[in-house]
Structure 1
């Protein structure tokens, strides 16, 4: 992997707090960096392809858009069925992310995690019941862990002066 050049570094610094909230964010970045919008897009695509950056995506503030009940549903799912069932759960419109993790027996039997956001806990519980019905007999147990505070979600930051 080639070391990032000065333009790559300046592009990361310019975007690490988020893309500008304008209709054409790549055009604004290009203007700020003194390059073309095509160059900005090409550089970001190259950094994604090389693994220097992992993704470009929206990170909504669920509280600001009315989802104040946030529950991480955790499931003990038969390993023989977890891949197919995890994909099915991940496609549900009310699940924002779904992933498999290893169990930590004897205290933590759960191997499938699915985040559910809603306006109230009763709605989260109803959606968790939908997941349980989808999992059927492959599910041996579950729980819901509700958020109790807002944590600022940020990635690694690099400084702009060195």
Structure 2
């Protein structure tokens, strides 16, 4: 999968975030010397081709008062993980969830869900809600609490010179 020079310029212009202006796509298009409609068409096409996965907000949960953040891990019946994982991922307090292979015998968990809250008690209440949603399809669980922010950026293109 390749991208042309214009797509590369669009990625470079957006990889650090969208400008905080009323019309961010218009601003990016102007900066790049292309029409806003062309910019949006190219972004959609890159998503459709899998070049970019999504355009999304990556909030700093700590700055928003969500200082108790935990990656909950679940040992979910393989026959139901797609169905239940989608339900967990749709919860408003889960920022992201995904399926991963188990690493037996030490790591029996195959469903991961990041839970955000303003206290550990709040996160534990939310984790109990997930446990109830998973019901008897869940055979085990744990949670790993964040102690600091490790990464808040996506992929960065290097310049051709670098």
Structure 2 length-normalised TM:
0.91
Paired residue secondary structure (2:39): helix
1:50-85 CA-to-partner distances (Å, cap 9, x unmatched) read: 222222111111111110110011111122222222
- Cα distance in structure 1, aligned partners of 2:3 and 2:110: 38
**Separation of aligned partners in 1, 2:118 and 2:79:** 34
Q: TM-score, normalised by structure 1?
A: 0.91
2:144 alignment partner, SS class: strand
Cα deviations across residues 5-48 of structure 1 (Å, max 9, x unaligned)? 32222211111101111111111011111111111111212222
Partner of residue 30, structure 1:
29
Which residue number corresponds to residue 81 of structure 1?
80
Unaligned runs of 5+ in 1: none
Residue segments in structure 2 that go unaligned for 5+ positions in a row? none
The answer for the alignment partner of 1:130 in structure 2 is 129
The aligned length equals 161
Runs of 4+ displaced beyond 6 Å: none
Report the Cα distance in structure 2 between the residues aligned to 1:103 and 1:4, rounded to whole angstroms.
35
Map of 1:61-72 to 2, 5 A cutoff?
Answer: 61-72=60-71
Indicate the residue corresponding to 1:103 in structure 2.
102
2:113 matched residue in structure 1 = 114
* Matching residue of 1:150: 149
For structure 1, which segment, 150-159 or 21-30, has the greater mean C-alpha deviation from structure 2 after superposition? 150-159
